[in-house]
């Protein structure tokens, strides 16, 4: 039964990783941009949530009402003012600039909030659980996080394949120069995509801050999980991202079940194995 | 050829130049297009035909007054602004969006927000095969059908001027005939057309006037019935006896 429990807990943890990865997948899918600052932006969102909770007295889940629009605005203007200027045929400039942004974010957060570890207290949700059987119990918070991840990914899928905005995203992803001949401002499309991606990051930030301790230096670790989930699922495949997150989560849970020290290693090993046998991920969608 | 040409320029270029880095691709192009006419641009590979269309559509930036549309300088305008003014292009190689279905590709053309007679219904009347295949992926179509989508997508912008870049490239002669058969219907709706062609005979057959480009310059201009084979040969290849 403990193995079933491990798989169940790992699956729920996968929802958290999928939330980290969904924004990254969206950004890569629309503008072929690998955002090295993604993990630090998750941490930025967590600090914005912390400020909302401490100054306004909001429940962490309610803080999303402020965190998500704020992160959308940060993403929109960051793309419009900085990253759009780096996009072109060469993939190196955006990589270098987002790497620089990552360093800047870490240092600014360190300066403003110090290196002290923080966590959002969510009251009764911290410990509330659902008894499935005599031996199987799941926490309400991981369950809410997982359900949210499924809703977010289903919404992104709907946005991409059932709306005009999604049609424009896909066309821009295909041919960014030609889309301008349709009357579309590609820079605005990129800014919107980054805004939406960071709004999703805002959701991931709040759940991360409720479930684990964070400080300004832990962003690169979140980036790693996000990368692994995106690559396992297949670049540009939104549902694949959820599967990628679940595979990492379950691998970690099984690793921890064998030996508590193997938790992170098991996740990375699963990633490595998939890279060896399916270098393009399980369900790749990209055409180049 | 168009029957209702007005002797009134809708588009003209003055001393238009274009560069790719240090390489100069166009040298002081003086071109004009009258309302309702069909103009063909011929020339060999690398003559500057596509660069010229890219300059008009804003994909290459120029001096503002080097391109004027209805008297308004558009040389420095962005492509999205230019299509909203009424200049749409069928790009070389079709350039459809592979992730989108046929109908989605067509709908992309309407995003400029210009109103007019061209909508999905009219496009499907012009190219009935597209209606049957509207839910297919755009890359599942034959080359000729893809070209129909590219033309339909440009028409969905309800343009005053339609620029067609090498629409016969890579297509079988019978398909080219089908594609060009649509041109009179497009012109009859009041669209002014520029076709870039390497096929001289095809260009002469469909146009009211012809420009020949050679090494980034206009080497010849005139009505098809005024131009001799020798003059075209010289202008096209830069040689008196290149073809017999």
CB contact under 8 A, A168 and B108: yes
Mean pLDDT of B22-41: 94
Domain range A2-277, CATH architecture = Orthogonal Bundle (1.10)
Range of the domain at B79: 9-94+163-237
CB contact under 8 A, B59 and A170: no
Interface test with A, best of B84, B108, B163 (most A CBs within 10 A): B108
For residue A167, which residues of chain B lie inside 8 Å, CB to CB? 100, 104, 107-108
CB contact under 8 A, B100 and A164: no
List, as one string, the DSSP characters of A200-263.
HHHHHHHHHHHHS-B-TT-HHHHHHHHHHHHHHH-TT-HHHHHHHHHHHHHHHHHHHHH-GGGH
Distance, C-alpha A152 to centroid of its chain: 11
CB contact under 8 A, B97 and A171: yes
Is the pLDDT at B177 greater than 80? The verdict is: yes
Is the pLDDT at B199 greater than 90? The verdict is: no
Is the pLDDT at B238 greater than 80? The verdict is: no
pLDDT the model gives residue B5: 63
pLDDT the model gives residue A236: 76
The conformational region for residue A167 under phi > 0 = left, psi -120 to 50 = alpha, else beta, is alpha
How high is the ipTM of this complex? 0.91
Nearest to B98 among A164, A182, A287 (CB): A287
CB contact under 8 A, A174 and B99: yes
pLDDT the model gives residue A182: 97
The domain spans of chain A are: 2-277
pLDDT the model gives residue A29: 87
Q: CATH number for the domain including B38?
A: 3.40.50.300
Is the pLDDT at B4 greater than 70? The verdict is: no
Establish if B31 belongs to a structural domain.
yes
Is the pLDDT at B234 greater than 60? The verdict is: yes
Is the pLDDT at B90 greater than 80? The verdict is: yes
For residue A177, which residues of chain B lie inside 8 Å, CB to CB? 59
CB B12 within 8 A of CB B87: no
State pLDDT tens for residues B67-80.
999 999 999 999 99
Counting the structural domains of chain B, the total is 1
CB contact under 8 A, A177 and B157: no
SS3 labels along chain B: CCCCCCCCEEEEEEEEEEEECCEEEEEEEEEEEECCCEEEEECCCCCCHHHHHHHHHCCCCCCHHHEEECCEECCCCCHHHHHHHCEEEECCCCCCCCCCEHHHHHHHHHHHCCCCCCCHHHHHHHCHHHHHCCCCEHHHCCHHHHHHHHHHHHHCCCCCEEEEECCCCCCCHHHHHHHHHCHHHHHHCCCEEEEEECCHHHHHHHCCEEEEEECCEEEEEECHHHCCHHHHHHHHHCCCCCCC
Q: Nearest CA to CA, how far is A38 from chain B (Å)? A: 26
pLDDT band at B242 (very low <50, low <70, confident <90, very high): very low
Ordered mean pLDDT values, 10 residues apiece, chain A (288 residues)? 89 96 92 93 98 95 97 98 92 94 97 96 89 90 96 96 96 95 96 97 97 96 94 88 95 94 94 92 68
pLDDT band at B240 (very low <50, low <70, confident <90, very high): low
CB B148 within 8 A of CB B90: no
Q: Nearest CA to CA, how far is B225 from chain A (Å)? A: 34
Integer-rounded Cα Rg, in Å, for chain A is 19
Q: Nearest CA to CA, how far is B240 from chain A (Å)? A: 39
Q: Nearest CA to CA, how far is B159 from chain A (Å)? A: 11
Is the pLDDT at B244 greater than 70? The verdict is: no
Establish if B112 belongs to a structural domain.
no
CB contact under 8 A, B79 and A180: yes
CB contact under 8 A, B80 and A164: no
Q: Nearest CA to CA, how far is B110 from chain A (Å)? A: 7
pLDDT the model gives residue A126: 87
State pLDDT tens for residues B105-160.
999 999 999 999 999 999 999 999 999 999 999 999 999 999 999 999 999 999 99
Interface test with B, best of A88, A180, A182, A235 (most B CBs within 10 A): A182
In the sheet that B87-90 helps form, which strands lie side by side, from edge to edge? B87-90, B161-165, B192-197, B38-42, B209-214, B217-222
pLDDT the model gives residue B237: 80
CB contact under 8 A, B97 and A180: no
Establish if B72 belongs to a structural domain.
yes
Establish if B4 belongs to a structural domain.
no
Burial tier of B112 (Cβ tally within 10 Å: 0-12, 13-18, 19+) = buried
CB contact under 8 A, A178 and B109: no
CB B40 within 8 A of CB B232: no
């Amino acid at each position: 039964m403990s193995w079933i429990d491990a798989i169940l807990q790992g699956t729920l943890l996968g929802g958290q990783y999928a939330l980290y990865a969904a924004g990254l997948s969206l950004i890569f899918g629309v503008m072929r941009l690998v955002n090295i600052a993604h993990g630090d932006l998750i941490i930025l969102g967590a600090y914005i949530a912390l400020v909302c909770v401490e100054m306004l007295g909001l429940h962490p889940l309610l803080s999303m009402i402020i965190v998500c629009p704020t992160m959308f605005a940060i993403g929109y203007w960051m793309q419009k003012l900085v990253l759009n200027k780096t996009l072109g045929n060469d993939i190196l400039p955006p990589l270098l600039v987002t790497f620089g942004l990552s360093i800047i974010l870490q240092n600014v957060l360190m300066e403003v909030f110090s290196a002290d570890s923080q966590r959002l207290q969510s009251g009764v949700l911290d410990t509330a659980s659902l008894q499935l059987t005599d031996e199987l119990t799941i926490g309400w918070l991981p369950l809410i996080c997982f359900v949210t991840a499924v809703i977010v990914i289903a919404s992104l899928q709907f946005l991409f394949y059932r709306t005009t905005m999604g049609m424009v995203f896909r066309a821009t992803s295909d041919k960014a120069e030609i889309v301008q001949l349709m009357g579309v401002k590609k820079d605005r499309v990129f800014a919107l995509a980054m805004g939406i991606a960071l709004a999703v990051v805002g959701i991931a930030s709040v759940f991360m801050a409720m479930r684990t301790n964070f400080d300004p230096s832990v962003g690169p670790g979140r980036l790693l999980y996000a990368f692994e989930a995106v690559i396992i699922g297949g670049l540009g495949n939104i549902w694949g991202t959820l599967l990628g997150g679940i595979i990492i989560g379950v691998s970690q849970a099984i690793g921890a079940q064998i030996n508590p020290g193997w938790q992170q290693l098991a996740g990375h090993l699963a990633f490595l194995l998939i890279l060896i046998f399916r270098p393009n991920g399980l369900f790749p969608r990209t055409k180049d | 050829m168009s029957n209702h040409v007005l002797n009134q320029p809708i588009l003209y270029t003055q001393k238009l130049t274009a560069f790719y880095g240090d390489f100069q691709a166009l040298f002081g192009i003086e071109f004009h297009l009258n309302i309702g006419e069909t103009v063909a641009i011929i020339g060999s590979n690398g003559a500057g035909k596509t660069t010229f269309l890219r300059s008009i559509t804003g994909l290459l930036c120029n001096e503002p007054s080097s391109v004027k549309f209805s008297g308004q300088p558009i040389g420095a305008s962005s492509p999205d602004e230019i299509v909203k003014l009424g200049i749409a292009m069928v790009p070389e190689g079709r350039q459809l969006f592979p992730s989108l279905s046929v109908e989605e590709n067509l709908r992309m053309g309407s995003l400029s927000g210009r109103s007019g007679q061209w909508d999905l219904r009219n496009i499907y009347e012009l190219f009935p095969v597209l209606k049957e295949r509207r839910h297919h992926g755009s890359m599942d179509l034959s080359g000729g059908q893809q070209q129909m989508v590219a033309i339909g997508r440009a028409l969905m912008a309800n343009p005053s001027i339609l620029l067609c870049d090498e629409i016969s490239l890579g297509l079988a002669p019978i398909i080219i005939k089908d594609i060009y058969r649509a041109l009179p219907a497009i012109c009859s709706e009041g669209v002014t057309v520029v076709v870039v062609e390497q096929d001289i005979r095809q260009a002469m057959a469909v146009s009211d006037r012809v420009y020949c480009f050679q090494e980034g310059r206009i080497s010849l201009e005139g009505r098809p019935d005024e131009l001799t084979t020798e003059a075209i040969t010289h202008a096209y290849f830069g040689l008196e006896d290149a073809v017999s």
